[in-house]
């Protein structure tokens, strides 16, 4: 029982998070980062559409001609949503994000990624989540280890869902949370109170000073504090969205709803991850205008969940950043099955009150035309914004990481600021 309790306590609340023994300049105080991973490789070219380039419609004929090309803005049902003055349009299914762009709270990176993509789902996901292809600890976990919390928190980091994302795995153990409303030691009515009473009595009868066994001492130290923190999480109750926020009735929608509730409840959550799958559109990808289309449906869920989260938190979004990522994009030319195959760069987004809205194409810029001569291997969009620079912008500008702290999280990386923050 003692070792099991110790393991559970360590996974829920590691010592570094529990006791906050190290002092730290409070630049990360009250700040939260939410990382949404689109697993499967989202097609960035139909998410942020270069409709002003005629070559786009050579590679992807218009949907009215049987292709998957998103119609130019103003062309009727299924038309893209214009990003004025950029030559790009949004896929019509991400209409919920368009208002965030026009209000300068959404940064769009149409070609984020990294040189050396293997175009393997698992390998490229690992590279992004670890920060490097040869690391086995997550970049967010290294942040938690390198940068102390600004103050006490009930739960500093969490993976929302069934599994802990690899970005959060490492020396600091992080919990996964699937349903905050039912978070408890027991779900059996009166037996819950009995279990809590018995556990507290057990800890009270086993003072650390009575034994030299480190495991028993750890249980005594962590047990009561763990129970207090579980009670605090239980105490926030079921989510009740505010400000008229309406979440999609989907797994992703419910997870974003619960996450907003945790943040609003003041438990000190600093880092969270959420996954949304279904982006590997090798066939029947579809274009715009019908949520039943494979990509359109996923984008509607994705954008609806993020917009509801932003609306729900209201002014709290001044201290929250949502960053979306995906392991790679898709081939520029559609395939014979009405889909796209594994590519390289793809579209990433950042949302928040501190974000400087706009389209960011990096120093190299978006190609003048997506002809084969301008593509990687004649097939793929090259990355124009290195993903580690995006991470570094967030670490420095949002969390206030020092040079040494940044080096601990992204060792050896030379940061070329993207300029994502106002």
**Percentage of residues in the chain having pLDDT higher than 90:** 74
Q: Coil, helix or strand for 191? A: helix
With respect to residue 219, please indicate whether it lies within any of the assigned structural domains: no
Instruction: Report the chain's mean pLDDT, rounded to a whole number.
Output: 90
Q: Coil, helix or strand for 349? A: strand
How far is C-alpha 185 from the chain's CA centre?
Answer: 28
Q: What is the pLDDT of residues 352-401, one digit of tens each?
A: 999 999 999 999 999 999 999 999 999 999 999 999 999 999 999 999 99
Q: What is the pLDDT of residues 233-258, one digit of tens each?
A: 888 888 899 999 999 999 999 999 99
CATH number at residue 398: 3.40.720
Task: Compute the residue count for the chain.
Answer: 422
Eight-state DSSP code of residue 62: B
- Assess contact for 153 and 270: CB atoms under 8 A: yes
With respect to residue 225, please indicate whether it lies within any of the assigned structural domains: no
With respect to residue 188, please indicate whether it lies within any of the assigned structural domains: no
With respect to residue 236, please indicate whether it lies within any of the assigned structural domains: no
Q: What is the DSSP string of 236-288?
A: T-S----TT----SSHHHHHHHHHHHHHHTTS---EEEEEEE----SS----S
With respect to residue 10, please indicate whether it lies within any of the assigned structural domains: yes
Q: State the Cα–Cα distance between residues 177 and 197, nearest whole angstrom.
A: 24
With respect to residue 161, please indicate whether it lies within any of the assigned structural domains: yes
Count of structural domains, the chain: 1
Helix 214-234 to helix 2-12 angle (10° resolution) is 50
Q: What is the pLDDT of residue 22?
A: 44
With respect to residue 177, please indicate whether it lies within any of the assigned structural domains: yes
Q: Dig out the tokens for 174 from the structure.
A: 């992080």
Q: What is the pLDDT of residues 254-299, one digit of tens each?
A: 999 999 999 999 999 999 999 999 999 999 999 987 655 799 999 9
With respect to residue 312, please indicate whether it lies within any of the assigned structural domains: yes
Range of the domain at 114: 2-183+246-409
């Amino acid at each position: 029982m003692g070792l099991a309790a110790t393991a559970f306590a360590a996974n829920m609340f590691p010592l570094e998070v529990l006791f906050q023994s190290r002092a730290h300049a409070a630049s990360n105080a009250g700040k939260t980062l939410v990382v949404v991973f689109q697993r499967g490789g989202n097609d960035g070219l139909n998410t942020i559409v270069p409709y002003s380039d005629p070559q786009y419609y050579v590679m992807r004929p218009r949907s009215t001609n049987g292709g998957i090309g998103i119609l130019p803005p103003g062309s009727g049902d299924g038309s893209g949503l214009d990003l004025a003055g950029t030559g790009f349009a949004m896929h019509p299914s991400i209409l919920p994000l368009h208002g965030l762009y026009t209000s300068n709270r959404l940064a769009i990176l149409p070609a984020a990624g990294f040189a050396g993509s293997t175009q393997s789902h698992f390998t490229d996901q690992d590279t992004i989540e670890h920060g490097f292809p040869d690391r086995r600890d997550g970049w967010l976990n290294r942040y938690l280890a390198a940068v102390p919390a600004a103050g006490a928190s009930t739960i500093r980091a969490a993976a929302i869902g069934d599994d802990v994302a690899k970005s959060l795995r490492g020396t600091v153990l992080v919990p996964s949370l699937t349903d905050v409303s039912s978070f408890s030691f027991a779900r059996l009515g009166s037996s819950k109170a009995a279990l809590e009473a018995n556990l507290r009595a057990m800890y009270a009868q086993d003072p650390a000073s009575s034994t030299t066994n480190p495991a028993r001492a750890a249980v005594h130290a962590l047990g009561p504090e763990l129970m207090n923190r579980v009670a605090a999480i239980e105490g926030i109750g079921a989510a009740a969205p505010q400000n008229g926020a309406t979440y999609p009735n989907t797994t992703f929608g419910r997870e974003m709803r619960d996450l907003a509730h945790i943040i609003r409840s003041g438990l000190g959550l600093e880092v969270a991850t959420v996954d949304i799958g279904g982006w590997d559109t090798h066939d029947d990808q579809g274009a715009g205008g019908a949520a039943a289309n494979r990509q359109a449906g996923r984008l509607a869920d994705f954008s609806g969940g993020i917009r509801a989260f932003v609306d729900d938190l209201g002014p709290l979004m001044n201290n929250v950043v949502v960053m979306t990522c995906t392991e790679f994009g898709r081939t520029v030319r559609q395939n014979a099955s009405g889909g796209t195959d594994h590519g390289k760069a793809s579209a990433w987004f950042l949302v928040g009150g501190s974000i400087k809205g706009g389209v960011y194409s990096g120093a190299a810029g978006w190609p003048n035309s997506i002809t084969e001569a301008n593509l990687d291997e004649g097939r793929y969009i090259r990355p124009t914004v290195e993903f580690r620079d995006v991470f570094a912008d967030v670490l420095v500008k949002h969390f206030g990481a020092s040079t040494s702290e940044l080096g601990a999280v992204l060792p050896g990386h030379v940061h070329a600021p993207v300029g994502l923050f106002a």
